[in-house]
Structure 1
Amino acid sequence: MDRLRIGVIGLGWFGEIHCDTIVGVPNLELAALCTRKPDRLAELAKKYGVKKTYRDYRDMLADPEIDAVSIVTMWDQHTEPAIAALEAGKHVFLEKPMASTVADCNKIIAASKRSKGILLVGHICRFNPRYRMAKQAIAAGKIGKIVAMSSRRNIPAAWTPEILNKIGPIVGDAIHDTDLMLWFTGDRIVSAYAQTVDVRGLKFPDIGQTMYRFAGGASATLETVWCMPEKTPFDIDERLSIIGTEGIIHVQDTFPNLGIVSKDKLHSPDTTYWPEFDGVRGGALRDEFAYFATCALNGKTPSMGRPEDAAAALEATLAAEESARTGNVIRIGGN
């Protein structure tokens, strides 16, 4: 078999981006769609020319012609479809955050170890070429031992009113930088402290400021502001600095690597994660799906997007949220 027949479970805005991306990956075939909303199901089935549609993911998993699934439901609805898909022997691409509790992460990991299918958790930043190059430089010893890191991952307020009623900025976005920091250091986080700011009175606060301590002594600060002004001319202000004993690495993405000035505005669109060209998504998400497909077709366990790493990132961000609620430093892993 040279192509993986994949179904997408969950057809919100990011589920649609998954579909846009899958159709551009040569060794993937978008073979099925699943959502509980019949109008949305019909809309996207027509857009992509997909004949197999389901309103219950269990029916999709019962189809022997479906080799893999991409799960893009809300984070607190990941556990049951992920475990069911793995038990059905399907390959699973599971969006981040892996689950809403560490206990559920562990259940998914246990199911993956029993399954003939592979499991990859979609921590897309590891497929950003700038972070990959940073990891390569760190592994080559170019900056010595990491002693401090700082990140910024801020997005405009227009993006977030609906999202902030489902997930907060620390688990929703700082989890990316948490995962990167764990990857760069090869270390574990032993404590978290955080503060949040509620600007708009939504279910979750708009701003999260987090600090970590790593077992090896390094410290890290992470900024996530989900309420940049409505007219901010870029989709994300994303930066990460890594300070070592012998050098420094600085990553800046996405602003201002492309600026488009029209008669109405200045805009700096995403050119890294899922940029769209001729109706097909490229960038890091396409690379991530291509890697997933290659691993699955070759029976290889992924070394990127490992569920154990995703669980560690979730544990740290949940600890940070607990710190923000209680005002206490939260110890992780009994330390």
Structure 2
Amino acid sequence: MERLRIGVIGLGWFGEIHAETIAGVPNLELAALCTRTPDRLAAMGEKFGVKKLYRDYNDLLADPDIDAVSICTMWDQHREPAVAALKAGKHVFLEKPIASSVEDGRAITAASKGAKGILFIGHVVRFNPRYRMAKQAIDEGRIGKIVAMSSRRNIPAAWTPTILNKIGPIVGDAIHDTDIMLWFTGDRIVSAYAQTTDVRGLKHPDIGQTMFRFAGGATATLETVWCMPEKTPFDIDERMSIIGTEGIIQVQDTFPNLGIVDGNRLHSPDTTYWPMFNGVRGGALREEFNYFADCAINGKPVTIGTPEDATAALQATLAAEESARSGDVVRIA
């Protein structure tokens, strides 16, 4: 097989971005779309020129012409379609977080064992070239043993009112940095402490501040603010510091890597994760799909974006949310 025929399950804003990205990957063919909303399904079918349109993912999974699926449903609706897709023999690209509970994450992981298709979890930051170079330097021993880390992942308030009624900033965004810190250290997190701040009275708080302790002794702090002023001229303020016994690594992916001044204001759009070029998404998300297609087509094991790693990141961020509610340090077995 030289090309995977892939269907997208879940056509919210990020499902649409997945479809726009798939359109630019040579080894993938966007062959099917699935959402429960008829109008949205018809509109996306027309936009992408896709004829196979499903309102029930089970019907999509029963289609023998579909080789793989990208699952972009809400995080608390991941277990059923992911397990069903694996049982149907499909290759599965499952957007992060792997699930909304550790139990569901482990169930999805168990379903992947012995499955015909591969399971890849979309932790896109691992495909950001700056973090990949940092990982390479760490693996080469250039900064010695990691002893402390800190991160910032802040976005403007305009992005988040709808999202905050579905997921909070710690599991929704700090999970990226949690996953990267687990990746960099090769260690496990043994305790979490967090505080949150409610600014706009939505279902979930706007701000999360988290601290982790790793089994090997390293500590980490994570800042996640989802209410930067709406006139903030950039899409994300993203940074990480990794301090070792013999060196330091600084990662910065924020304003002003590109500045565009128009008649309205200064803009600094995303140039890393899923920038749009001529109607097709590029960047780290496309690299994710390239990796997924390569593993699936060539029978390679998934070593980046494993369900075990994704579940560990989920467990740590859920512990942090529990800490924010209780005010206590939460131990992680």
TM-score (norm 2): 1.00
Dislocated runs of 4+, deviation >3 Å: none
Letter in 2 for 1:298: N
> Which whole-Å CA distance do the structure 2 matches of 1:15 and 1:27 have between them?
19
Instruction: Give the stretch that moved more between structures: 255-264 or 221-230.
Output: 255-264
**2:310 aligned partner:** 310
Letter in 1 for 2:84: A
> Which whole-Å CA distance do the structure 1 matches of 2:105 and 2:13 have between them?
24
> Which whole-Å CA distance do the structure 2 matches of 1:287 and 1:264 have between them?
33
1:32 partner SS: strand
> Which whole-Å CA distance do the structure 1 matches of 2:267 and 2:228 have between them?
14
Q: What pairs up with 1:146-157 in 2 under 5 angstroms?
A: 146-157=146-157
1:184 and 2:193 aligned: no
Q: 1:262: how far off?
A: 1.2
Preserved CA contact (<8 Å) 1:9 1:70 = yes
**1:295 aligned partner:** 295
**1:60 aligned partner:** 60
Q: 1:259: how far off?
A: 0.8
Letter in 1 for 2:89: G
> Which whole-Å CA distance do the structure 2 matches of 1:153 and 1:119 have between them?
27
**1:81 aligned partner:** 81
Q: 1:255: how far off?
A: 1.7
Preserved CA contact (<8 Å) 1:254 1:272 = no
Q: 1:207: how far off?
A: 0.2
Q: What pairs up with 1:134-149 in 2 under 5 angstroms?
A: 134-149=134-149
Residues matched between the structures, number: 333
Letter in 1 for 2:6: I
> Quick one: percent identity of the two aligned structures?
81
**2:327 aligned partner:** 327
Q: What pairs up with 1:32-111 in 2 under 5 angstroms?
A: 32-111=32-111
> Which whole-Å CA distance do the structure 1 matches of 2:248 and 2:305 have between them?
25
Q: 1:301: how far off?
A: 1.6
Q: 1:256: how far off?
A: 1.5
**1:235 aligned partner:** 235
Letter in 2 for 1:4: L
2:105 partner SS: helix
> Which whole-Å CA distance do the structure 1 matches of 2:213 and 2:71 have between them?
32
Letter in 1 for 2:62: A
CA deviation profile, 1:122-173 (whole Å, cap 9, x unmatched): 0000000000000000000010000000000000000000000000000000
CA deviation profile, 1:264-292 (whole Å, cap 9, x unmatched): 10010000000000000000000000100
Any unmatched runs of 5+ in structure 1? none
**1:133 aligned partner:** 133
> Which whole-Å CA distance do the structure 2 matches of 1:4 and 1:255 have between them?
36
> Which whole-Å CA distance do the structure 1 matches of 2:230 and 2:6 have between them?
37
Letter in 2 for 1:117: G
Q: What pairs up with 1:161-172 in 2 under 5 angstroms?
A: 161-172=161-172
**1:254 aligned partner:** 254
2:113 partner SS: helix
**1:275 aligned partner:** 275
> Which whole-Å CA distance do the structure 2 matches of 1:263 and 1:313 have between them?
42
Preserved CA contact (<8 Å) 1:9 1:73 = yes
Letter in 1 for 2:254: T
Q: 1:300: how far off?
A: 1.4
Preserved CA contact (<8 Å) 1:90 1:117 = yes
**1:204 aligned partner:** 204
> Which whole-Å CA distance do the structure 1 matches of 2:157 and 2:275 have between them?
21
Letter in 2 for 1:225: V
> Which whole-Å CA distance do the structure 1 matches of 2:331 and 2:294 have between them?
38
Q: 1:263: how far off?
A: 2.0
> Which whole-Å CA distance do the structure 1 matches of 2:55 and 2:254 have between them?
36
